[in-house]
Structure 1
């Protein structure tokens, strides 16, 4: 699996670069969309035979200096460069020596208190497979359509690709979808023998043509701070800033928090969302009491 990933990643990066971008002269008709192997080899300062070996998926024993030269020749950005290093690292690890990761640990009580201690902001903890492990009431309200859809199983990647509601909920659906695919590609490079991750990717590929096409592009993505635009079924449009904070002591877990600047329409929308959430909780509690 790792060799195929390396081969496809290097080839798709090579295909994206034109000779003009690389500062190379162009002669005659070209049958390849990007650079030829010999051109990448020249730019990286290695032999054609050596680069051919690399692009066939063999990165075992490759030095950092060669990886740096290769990243420069292929004009990789920081995220792509890190992904290349992850692929090279795993190429030097035997599958038999990989220690299977235990089932995802529960969210630590201290982290849970932090999430619950932000009642005015949607906050949740997710793992590297986009499973939402815990969420505060406002996050539940924001993602109410995901929780209402049993096919999603509280997984935002499944929500993006399986639920018709997601295309309305995410105003910039395609950007969100490509970001999710790129983040999963990063995780697959770091953990090629993670069975649960592989099962999720296989499920998404089998059930979503769109995911399968995006996955084939071999693009990578890391979630950082930014703004997401939502169209909530009850409160309407919400343009929310988001922060994703990795938990170093909990492999693969991160805290995601959405917020809005005071006095903005989005801040008013969060207050309305909180009111709607409280009303829904009261109605549910009343129904339970009547059934008892």
Structure 2
């Protein structure tokens, strides 16, 4: 994938959202039983959004540059977009209003020492920083222990999307909800593509995954988008076994584009005990590594 074509992105996103809504779901009468299109017709979306048919057709052909926020809100309502989809539509419109410009290389940069100190101060929970491309930029000792299977490869920065799609056997053994994870990762990458369509590293990652993974191609074609949000992550760790973790993902206001992820478990649960065991194992591994280094 040499570039991300905004007009194509807009066309495919709007048409895919339109195709999933039936007239009944939209509160419209369905005249005749032989509709030639899946979902709503363009003129029905235009009616629901309060714009002319010609105007909406231009939008769905990839022209969002002149669309006002009010019109975008109306289209989002007509297509029953959720929060992530609405944000994505606005990102695409915002990028359409720019002059385009050359692609930008946004390589992973070293994390400020103060941020690593913050991670290291979180001693009882795995904590790590990533960017919108899923590059893992910094971790505390528990996160390194938790994600040992992903870190087994030598490529750095480690990347969750590559692990999920290009090492599927290991990823499926690690993530209990692997089928959901593959959907979420592709959807969050598409969200990032709408936000930063000229990011060379992102374009290269999407191209690599598209070339090497049929599963990614399928999920990418769905046009789905997701926000980075709190939730539950269930993993099968090779040393401590099953861990059902509560995840908090927070955008770093001082470092735009970075996400802080912290995994916790309620006290007294099997997962809390597992995290304590993981911490003990990680400390043992670090001690062993230090001793081996001293002997070397």
Q: Quickly name the TM-score band, shorter chain normalised.
A: over 0.9
**Residue 260, structure 1, aligned to residue 265, structure 2:** yes
Match of 1:54 in 2: 59
Match of 2:274 in 1: 269
Q: In the alignment, is the contact (CA less than 8 A) between 2:108 and 2:157 conserved in 1?
A: no
Paired with 1:91 and 1:252, the residues of 2 have a C-alpha distance of: 20
* Residue from 45, 54, 57 that aligns with 2:50: 45
Match of 1:72 in 2: 77
Give the alignment's Cα RMSD to 1 decimal.
Answer: 1.5
> Which whole-Å deviations, capped at 9, do the CAs of 1:170-214 have from their partners, x for residues lacking one?
111121121111111111001111111111111111111111110
Paired with 2:217 and 2:34, the residues of 1 have a C-alpha distance of: 32
Paired with 1:50 and 1:152, the residues of 2 have a C-alpha distance of: 47
Paired with 2:103 and 2:222, the residues of 1 have a C-alpha distance of: 29
Deviation at 1:152, TM superposition (A): 7.6
Please give the residue correspondences for 1:69-218 in structure 2 after superposition, counting only pairs within 5 Å: 69-96=74-101, 100=104, 103-150=107-154, 153-163=157-167, 164-218=169-223
* Residue from 280, 284, 287 that aligns with 1:282: 287
Match of 1:226 in 2: 231
Please give the residue correspondences for 1:229-240 in structure 2 after superposition, counting only pairs within 5 Å: 229-240=234-245
Q: In the alignment, is the contact (CA less than 8 A) between 1:152 and 1:159 conserved in 2?
A: no
Paired with 1:36 and 1:2, the residues of 2 have a C-alpha distance of: 22
The one of the two structures with greater contact order (alpha-carbon pairs below 8 A, sep at least 6) is: 2
Deviation at 1:150, TM superposition (A): 3.4
Any unmatched runs of 5+ in structure 2?
A: none
Compute the TM-score of the two structures, normalised by the length of structure 2.
0.94
Any unmatched runs of 5+ in structure 1?
A: none
Q: In the alignment, is the contact (CA less than 8 A) between 2:88 and 2:191 conserved in 1?
A: yes
Deviation at 1:258, TM superposition (A): 0.5
Paired with 1:93 and 1:166, the residues of 2 have a C-alpha distance of: 39
Compute the TM-score of the two structures, normalised by the length of structure 1.
0.95
Paired with 1:68 and 1:207, the residues of 2 have a C-alpha distance of: 37
Match of 2:7 in 1: 3
* Residue from 25, 28, 35 that aligns with 2:29: 25
**Residue 251, structure 1, aligned to residue 256, structure 2:** yes
- The worse-fitting range, judged by mean Cα deviation, of 151-160 and 261-270 is 151-160
